[in-house]
Amino acid sequence: MGADLHGAPRPAGEPLLRVERLVKHFPLTQGILFKRKVGAVQAVDGVDLTLNRGETLGLVGESGCGKSTVAKTLLRLEEPTSGHAFYKGTDIFSLGRHELRALRRQIQIIFQDPYASLNPRMTVGDIITEAWEIHPGIVAKSDRRDRAQELLQRVGLSPDAVNRYPHQFSGGQRQRVGIARALTLNPDIIICDEPVSALDVSVQAQVINLLEEIQDEFGLAFIFVAHDLSVVRHISDRVAVMYLGRIVEIGDESDIYERATHPYTQALLSAAPLPDPEGRENRARVVLEGDVPSPANPPSGCRFRTRCWKAQEVCAEQDPQLLDRFGHGHPSACHFADTSLEPPRSAVPPAALA
């Protein structure tokens, strides 16, 4: 059990959630009867995070960077390979079945696909009240229907939705049902895994507004996993950028979007098309070469070096730690972290000279 890990009294200002050295490797096997492990997909490879009460942490990156795997391990929907995640001082990864069930009252999730995440054979009312049956004692049986109707109204659906089935709703309305379900147990944290990616632009904005409203109203902290950079910027207080299973840069929303120092963050931001045609001909743009390497066989040293225009020999030899090397005010996992896009003048990282 993790008791020894958090025996000491919690210091003031302890974050709601603290993730340390989170690793999730998926084994690659060969053979049919006798499966031999021949390698591992390093989906998440040493991630540290904190989440404070009431804040939104955006988790961005391209497909396969591990952002959704991080989200799933925090609920133990995937078992982590190693690492710790302390929720109010308790290590989520060391909990037994019963304790885990209690924990899941506090951490809920909203999925990307509102079509797949609602049971088509249950009415919306049953979907909402199911959680109260699993966790009895929160809402008395006789009150459940009323409470479900209240919640549905809160997320902008009509109370008579309780009698209807998921297929009778549009994508945006289904996502509202998903949000109502996440609120049933009055959690502290909601993990939003690409909650608006499948929705049309006009509906997406409605759901983003709703998420912000319920966050204020219920004092929720969000981990907001998404690939849409402008949506993440809008909703997040802090942002972590992931590449090949690692966080490459983390900071306040303005640190990341206005003062990015990691070349990958810079490339990602410059590649994202802006919804404004003014000055598009003169916009500075970094178009990265090639694709993301396989997470089963990541490059040595810095994982981004194979696509990086700043890469030097040292990048292949030394794995850059996530540090604030040069006083930029937020950590970045690059030997040559700099807000400028210029390639480094010297092959030796400035930190080694200092």
Residues that bind other proteins (CB under 8 A): 62-63, 170, 172-173, 200-206, 208-209, 212-213, 227, 229-231, 233-235, 253, 257, 267-268, 270-278, 280, 285, 287-288, 290-292
Which distant-in-sequence residues (6+ apart) come within 8 Å of 205 by Cβ?
none
What is the nearest approach in angstroms of other proteins to the Cβ of residue 178? Answer: 16
Contact status, residue 267 vs residue 60, Cβ threshold 8 Å: no
What is the nearest approach in angstroms of other proteins to the Cβ of residue 257? Answer: 8
What is the nearest approach in angstroms of other proteins to the Cβ of residue 264? Answer: 9
Rounded (10°) CA dihedral 223, 322, 306, 296: -60
Is the Cβ of residue 238 or residue 325 nearer to other proteins in the bound state? 238
What is the nearest approach in angstroms of other proteins to the Cβ of residue 278? Answer: 7
Question: Sign of the C-alpha dihedral, residues 83, 89, 95, 97?
Answer: negative
What is the nearest approach in angstroms of other proteins to the Cβ of residue 52? Answer: 17
Is the Cβ of residue 148 or residue 267 nearer to other proteins in the bound state? 267
Contact status, residue 80 vs residue 23, Cβ threshold 8 Å: yes
CA–CA separation, 17 and 4 (whole Å): 18
CA–CA separation, 13 and 36 (whole Å): 46
Contact status, residue 343 vs residue 263, Cβ threshold 8 Å: no
CA–CA separation, 100 and 98 (whole Å): 5
Instruction: Provide the pairing of β-strand 238-243 with 246-252.
Output: antiparallel
Is the Cβ of residue 81 or residue 173 nearer to other proteins in the bound state? 173
What is the nearest approach in angstroms of other proteins to the Cβ of residue 283? Answer: 9
Is the Cβ of residue 186 or residue 230 nearer to other proteins in the bound state? 230
